[in-house]
Amino acid sequence: MTSEPLFPRLRAVTRPLTEIPDLLALADPVAPLAWIRGDRGCVGIGEALRLSFTGPDRFERAADAWRAVSAQASIDDPVQLPGSGLVALGTFAFADDSAAESVLIVPRVLVAQHRGTAWVTLVSEAAESERAPHVPAAIPAGSWPGVAVDPAPGSEDDFRAAVAEATERIAHGEAEKIVLSRQLLGAVAADADLRVPIRRLAERYLDCWTFAIDGLVGASPETLIRSTGGAVSARVLAGTRPRGANATSDAHSRDALLTSDKDQHEHAFAIDSVVTALTPHVRELNASEQPFALELPNVWHLATDLGARLADDATPIELAGALHPTAAIAGTPTPVAVAAIGEIESFDRGRYSGAVGWTDAAGDGEWVIALRCAQFGPAAAGERQITASAGGGIVAGSDPDRELAETVSKFRPIVEAFGGPSPAPSLF
């Protein structure tokens, strides 16, 4: 007796395109599914499969599920590039006990590009009649009214108090670093075109991955893991300074970051956590000799790039799970810091500072830390609630006012992208 498969048998048919389309113009305005960085990226239209996970084993169960789905899938892929064939986009919650679902979504149609090459993939269940993949028509631009996201009353004082509590715990030897966050809240009409702020993020933050997956929208500068053809890479960020108002003050801000003992110390914690997590899965691990200053429109980040070769059959989802949470978004020692976050923060982070990205059936994928982002809730009473999040690492000597100011800088991408009304209808 043959048992029925746990997951549907999918068929993925990929075909090359002769022209590179405007990806965001194809996306659903109210439920966009997108992953974009410069001349690379994809958009998904519709859902062929949706898998949901919660709890401390969410990464492991997602990896197992994706292996099963991929193993039984029929894939016709003459393009043979990372992100062609069968692809899932996903986002994972930060905390093991979060109420937020972690999801993998296989789009019904995926349109993608990698530099000068573009393709379209159609995914269907194997029992469905076979159809040729094609690029859907562009969807005209809708309205974006301009949305303000603001602190809840008293939340800034709450954050200062949280920083003070974290520094006290650090002074008592409970931890060396605790990463704390805060939230901004807003609302937007249920039919607002989310592609407007997404496009702004993609155009302004070219060194970031801009994403829109299951209502989570943002532009992250921090690569959790990238695995392509056996090559593995990560970008670690820890230590931040706001951009200066002019060239002189900007150079001073950058140099202060590069010479700061506090930021260098914080950065070292983050590097160590990534190296420790990756070592069982890779060989030939190397890192940039010294941290460098990563220039973004809103801040300077202290950054280190790591590279390695995959030494086992770990999938990108498994690697992301092994790395999460890093010291950069949790603290050191990480288990102690995570517990402290749960005790000090008065809210569920949801998917903020979790993992967001994609994986394909060939074993390639990219996952970033969900930073500079906001979660859109479901439509209710004609509008959608918005929760934006940002945070920073608290170490010995951290000043509550300075840490609050750092979060203001980190909120800038979302605040600015959401803030203005739609441009002319020619956007798409």
Q: Which residue has the tokens 């930021």?
A: 263
Q: Which fold has domain 10-427?
A: Anthranilate synthase (3.60.120)
- Assign 269 a pLDDT band (cuts: 50, 70, 90): confident
Highest mean pLDDT among 4-8, 169-173, 225-229: 169-173
- Rounded to two decimals, what is the model's pTM? 0.93
In the predicted structure, residue 420 carries a pLDDT above the cut 70? yes
- Contact criterion met (CB below 8 Å) for 44 and 28: no
Q: Which residue has the tokens 């155009």?
A: 203
In the predicted structure, residue 234 carries a pLDDT above the cut 80? yes
Q: State residue 5's pLDDT score.
A: 57
> Which of 2-6, 294-298, 386-390 is the least confident region?
2-6
Q: Does the annotation mark 289 as catalytic?
A: no
In the predicted structure, residue 244 carries a pLDDT above the cut 90? no
The better pLDDT of the pair 35, 229 is held by: 35
* pLDDT > 70 fraction of the chain, expressed in percent and rounded: 98
> Which ranges constitute the DSSP H helices of 10-141?
23-26, 58-72
What is the 8-class DSSP label of residue 243? P
Per-residue burial over 102-134, b if 16 or more Cβ lie within 10 Å, else e, is bbbbbbbbbbbbbeeebbbbbbbeeeeeeeebe
Per the residue annotation, which of 4, 130, 174, 177 is the catalytic one?
Answer: 177
How crowded is residue 396: how many other Cβ atoms within 10 Å of its Cβ? 12
Token pair belonging to 393: 């690492």
> Which of 46-55, 136-145, 188-197, 415-424 is the least confident region?
415-424
Average pLDDT, the chain: 93
In the predicted structure, residue 129 carries a pLDDT above the cut 90? no
Per the residue annotation, which of 47, 125, 165, 222 is the catalytic one?
Answer: 222
Q: Does the annotation mark 177 as catalytic?
A: yes
- Give burial (CB, 10 Å; 0-12/13-18/19+) of 382: exposed
Q: State residue 1's pLDDT score.
A: 42
- Assign 312 a pLDDT band (cuts: 50, 70, 90): confident
The better pLDDT of the pair 230, 400 is held by: 400
Q: State residue 2's pLDDT score.
A: 46
Q: Which residue has the tokens 């402290």?
A: 340
Q: State residue 383's pLDDT score.
A: 96
Mean pLDDT, residues 342-365 taken together? 96
In the predicted structure, residue 252 carries a pLDDT above the cut 70? yes
Cα separation, 275 vs 278, whole angstroms? 5
Q: Which residue has the tokens 């200053």?
A: 293
Mean pLDDT, residues 357-361 taken together? 98
> Which of 95-99, 215-219, 299-303, 421-425 is the least confident region?
421-425
- Assign 290 a pLDDT band (cuts: 50, 70, 90): confident
Q: State residue 239's pLDDT score.
A: 84
Residue 393 exposure: Cα atoms within 13 Å on the Cβ side: 30
In the predicted structure, residue 4 carries a pLDDT above the cut 60? no
